[in-house]
Structure formats: C-alpha cells, structure tokens
Amino acid sequence: MDRIFIENLNVQTVIGIYDWEREIKQSVSLDLEMEFDIKRAAQTDSIEDTLDYKAVCKRLILFIEDSDFQLVEALAESCAAIVLADFPVNWLRLKLGKPGAVRGSSTVGVIIERGTPAV
C-alpha cells in the first residue's frame, strides 16, 4: 500500500510533568506516515482524490497548540486518533518528539502505529 508522509511538523504546546513546563510552551516535532492508495490521484491529478496532507497538518496544529498534556505518549495517542477519525486513513505510524527534553540528545519521544494496514 502507498503511504503519504509528513516530516518534522513543529508545533508549540504545553507539555511536561514539571511545574516550570506547565507555565511555558515548548516545541514538539511530529512525523506521520499514513497509508493511502494514491492510484486514483495519480490518474486524475486532482486534490479531491488524495489525502490532503495540508488539511491533516492544519487539524493537528490546531489540536496540539490548544492541548495541555503531561506526557508525549498521551499527545501522540490523541493525534493518531484524530487522524484516523477525521481522514480516510486506515493505518498510520506517528513519531512524536520533544526536542531538548534530555541534555545531550537532540530529541526524545515515542513512535506508535495505529489502525489496520491493508493486506
């Protein structure tokens, strides 16, 4: 099956378990890989026949900017649920990173897969 991807979508949000993290916005980075059959879009060359990745980004940015999670795990799960519910995607892989969370590391986070891939 074909996949449409989004890499390094950076969004500012409240995220973290420490008191000081609850008072500021921090950056999170999102990578998405979404299963979607692109054959029809390739034939018609029409946005109506594909997964509109700009619409996916806008939806996630609005949600993440307004969110207030403690854990990246919870934020990742909610983002995956939104994509699966709001867009014609049956399976996705989502990587959510929190840059600067651990000294000496460029980023830390989670990678999750949700949905049922096509056979």
25 an active-site residue? no
Contact 81, 63 (CB under 8 A): no
Concatenate the DSSP letters of all residues of 65-102 into one string: HH-EES-HHHHHHHHHHHHHHHSS-SEEEEEEEEETSS
94: its two tokens: 């989502």
Catalytic residue among 25, 39, 54, 98: 98
Task: Tell me the catalytic residues.
Answer: 98
